[in-house]
Structure 1
Amino acid sequence: MAGSLAGLRVLDLSRILAGPLVGQMLGDLGAEVFKIERPGKGDDAREMGPPFLKKQDGSQTDTAGFFLACNRNKKSLSLNLSDPVGQDLVRKLAQSCDIVIENFKVGTLARYGLDYESVRAVNPAIIYCSITGFGQTGPEALKPGYDGIFQAMGGMMSVSGHPEGVPGGGPMKVGISIVDILTANNATIAILAALRHREQGGPGQYLDISLLDCGIAALSHFAQNYLITGEVPERRGNGGYGGIPSQAFTCADRQIFVVVGNNAQYARFCEAIERPDLFADDRFNTGPRRIENRKILVPILDEVFQQREAAHWLAALDAAGVPVSYVNDVRQMFEEPQVKAREMCRSIAHNEAGTLPIIANPLRFSETPVDTYSAPPELGEHSVEILSGALGLSSEEIQHLRDKGVVG
């Protein structure tokens, strides 16, 4: 069954993470994605290991797990963008594409004649998405930057981690490259909105997507609360800003996470942990009072949960209808019955490894399901297919380009 974006063609000039994730999502949804990579080396993400994928005989490939995470459902064309002939080939490819994705530093592609204005000159309908650290404007637009920089600069680290004065207290980076991932999601939304605008008769357009902007927007109610109060949010470790309790608790064997969202849940919570007195207590019997007295209530609950194993508390709170979960590591997460039932881990064919386990696309469609996954491509795997199919080049012309070092 064709995906919801079948018929669209994407020119993916991006590398590392945020941009490639956009191309992967569009590919998952059925678009044809041409990934342009440097001859010989390819996307830097290919070597961002260990770990590296292993072949069927157990020996190691030169493909990092990092690359595998964000490049499935693409076709790789190995092409030298610094060569004028390579640049001309990209412009010709862009004529038949709907979308361009790039995450070069501001101004780099203009030197190659591959910036928005140059591409629009040959394809006025193009949706051209530029992803940069700081955006195309502002005093720091030319600076380089990676995910951790934007977690720090954008305030995300300031609200993550334990409070000052406790062991390990201080700002903390989110473990994964969360700003890259959020930026990719925002860029995908922007592209789909621009496509809708074009379908309604509008022109193509340029999308300026910044990691810094996306990181700030992700602060959501934390930043909004500051804007209306002037109070800088404090770090609460594993505790939340909503209902109390809303945090991790250490049980006799492992941790669980509990969220009590309203007073009715809190009443059932107190019954489930066999402490109805904590609901009758005037200090804790409403949501606002629990928030005001969280530093009194939480230590009491810490002591309660330490008395029994996590499985006991999980069963008791589940039975009471109180949201609760184990605090899982990645191995434990993939063993969760719900995760297995949702088939969030799939196996697909891979040339070297035989099979490749992947994280499934989380989007579920009733009419256009995401059920086709091709493995992340080998460097230049589809060079001949793209040059002959999309540009109509003969085998002799392609070989000539290879001899000149334009095509890898």
Structure 2
Amino acid sequence: MQNKTALGHIRVLDLTRVLAGPWCAQNLADLGAEVIKVERPLVGDDTRSWGPPYLRDETGENTSEAAYYLAANRGKQAITVDISSDEGQQIIRELALQSDIVLENYKVGQLKKYGLDYDTLKELKPDLIYCSITGFGQTGPYAHRAGYDFIVQGMGGFMSLTGERDDLPGGGPQKAGVAIADLMTGMYATIAVMAALSHRDRTGEGQYIDMALLDVQVAMLANMNTNYLASGVAPKRWGNAHPNIVPYQTFATSDGHIIVAAGNDSQYTKFVQAGGRPELADDPLYLTNPRRVAHRDQLVPLLMEMVAQKTKQEWIDLLEAAGVPCGPINNLDEVFDNPQVVARDMLMELPHPSAGKVRLVGSPMKMSVTPAQALSAPPLLGQHTSEVLGNLLGYDEEKLANLRTRKII
């Protein structure tokens, strides 16, 4: 019996590339939507060549698929269309008429030149949901600037909060290890699209969604924003420490690192007792959290010395038994070997047309009736062009061959 899907009745025309847009489209595909990814003939999504590493085939040789591309394109069908040509533009308009959602991340105004903007398409299909993703949005003085995740992390305040303290070695601003502005924009775009679908299903009315990386980066600072707005004092970088709680940070063990999050005085006492230093709980300087915060520069070196005496696993076992919140800092080998990650099906394997099979990360959306699932690997460039244009638009082999000859598809 085939599983039900939440979005099996929805078709998405995906004109996006790189990460934020494809991430949104991949979420929709995981939830069952039919996603048609449109790419430039012969070239494709930029991320297809963002390697190494590349996916390897069964003989160990590199394929043409970069690992970066694989991260955001599972579950989609891939077609190639030259949208700079009149006939390519007509193909996109015909596909839009057959779709519920259009996603795009072109520069502001670029698709209007091609007659593929929202105002043009909504005249053909009034219930269309059209989502644009750009660095700075469709309005404002920066609207026409190109937006890049790294730059937005800096502009949006994230890097003012992230990194080691300025007065410590290695101090200074630091970007995140993944493109968080892109990824969070993809997530917010997914939510906005789902809300627009709900509205359309109730009213029959489509709408335009304007998503900007900078907007998202500002919004996701959460309590750091409100800390500033309430106090008027801009937060500063604390590295892996916490401005208000001690100890609440990383520590180096004899063979790795752990996180200790002692959120109250009882947990702190249990922590130092487990480390054989109970006197650090009785010292008047460290008796309460406010005192530990005030004297962190004296206390933390003592705790670092204590933690360095045992291995990562010894500390995890001791602190879990004592009820002290803690955790390891795992590399990805350890992440994918973790029994909890395995039990939650966060690693999967799908058949792949050139590599035989590909290992991918599973969806974190666990739903009891309409489970998220990926049924196909990230597609090869143009893998489904004939199928999609033939089935949806009724193009015969002669027409498809003619379009290929002229590099329209």
TM-score range, shorter chain: over 0.9
Hey, what's the Cα distance between the residues in 2 that align with 1:213 and 1:289?
38
Residue 168 of structure 2: aligned partner: 166
Q: How many Å apart are 1:306 and its aligned residue?
A: 1.3
CA distance in 2, matches of 1:106, 1:5: 29
- Counterparts of 2:166 and 2:267, CA distance in 1: 31
Report the counterpart of residue 321 of structure 1 in structure 2: 323
Moved more, 397-406 or 343-352: 397-406
Q: Does 1:53 align with 2:47?
A: no
Deviations 1:125-157 (A, max 9, x none): 111111000111111110112110001111111
Give the AA of the match of 1:395.
E
What SS is found at the alignment partner of 1:200?
helix
Offset of residue 12 of structure 1? 0.2
**Secondary structure at the residue paired with 1:390?**
helix
Corresponding residue number in structure 2 for 1:86: 88
Residue of 400, 405, 408 corresponding to 1:406: 408
The 3-state SS of whatever aligns with 1:311 is helix
Range with bigger deviation, 41-50 or 235-244: 235-244
Question: Is the CA contact 2:11–2:101 (under 8 Å) kept in the aligned structure 1?
Answer: yes
Shift of 1:101: 0.7
Partner SS, residue 257 of structure 1: strand
Q: Is the 8 A contact 2:49 2:65 kept in 1?
A: yes
TM-score (norm. length: structure 1): 0.96
CA RMSD of aligned residues (A): 1.5
> Offset at 1:370?
2.2
Counterpart in 1 of 2:157?
Answer: 155
Superposed CA deviations along residues 382-407 of structure 1, whole A, max 9, x for unmatched, are 11111111112222222222222211
Is this contact kept in 2: 1:104–1:132, CA < 8 A?
Answer: yes
Gaps (5+ residues) in structure 2?
Answer: none
* Structure 1 Cα separation of the partners of residues 272 and 151 of structure 2: 42
Residue in 2 aligned with 1:303?
A: 305
1:192-207 aligned within 5 A: 192-201=194-203, 203-207=205-209
Q: Normalized against structure 2, the TM-score is what?
A: 0.96
CA contact (8 A) 2:74 2:374 kept: no
1:66 and 2:68 equivalent? yes
Moved more, 165-174 or 36-45: 165-174
2:13 aligns with 11
Q: Supply the AA of the counterpart residue of 1:97.
A: S
1:332 alignment partner, SS class: helix
Matched, 1:221 2:230: no
CA contact (8 A) 1:242 1:261 kept: no
Pick aligned residue for 2:383 from 381, 384, 390? 381
Q: Could you tell me which runs of 5 or more consecutive residues in structure 1 were left unpaired when the two chains were aligned.
A: none
Secondary structure at 1:180's aligned position in 2? helix
Aligned match of 1:119:
121
- Same amino acid, percent of matched pairs: 45
CA distance in 2, matches of 1:186, 1:391: 31
Q: Does 1:27 align with 2:29?
A: yes
What's the offset of the Cα at 1:202? 5.5
**Superposed displacement of residue 11, structure 1:** 0.4
Residue 99, structure 1, aligned to residue 131, structure 2: no
Give CA deviations for 1:101-128 in whole Å, capped at 9, x if unaligned: 1111111111111111111111111111
CA contact (8 A) 1:284 1:293 kept: yes
Q: Does 1:356 align with 2:358?
A: yes
What amino acid is the match of 2:308?
Q
* Correspondence for 1:182: 184
The number of equivalent residue pairs is: 407
Counting only pairs closer than 5 Å after superposition, residues 211-290 of structure 1 correspond to structure 2 as 211-241=213-243, 243-290=245-292
Measured against aligned partners, the alpha-carbon deviations of 1:154-174 in whole angstroms (never above 9, x if no partner) come to: 111111111113221111111
| Aligned mates of 1:120, 1:241 — CA distance in 2 | 50
8 Å contact from structure 1 (residues 134, 143) kept in 2: yes
Q: Does 1:340 align with 2:345?
A: no
CA deviations on 1:244-302 (whole Å, 9 max, x unpaired) are 21111011221111112233433333332333333334443333333333333222211
**1:103 partner amino acid:** N
Give 3-state SS (helix, strand or coil) of 1:76's partner: strand
2:26 counterpart letter in structure 1? Q
Give 1:242 deviation, angstroms. 5.1
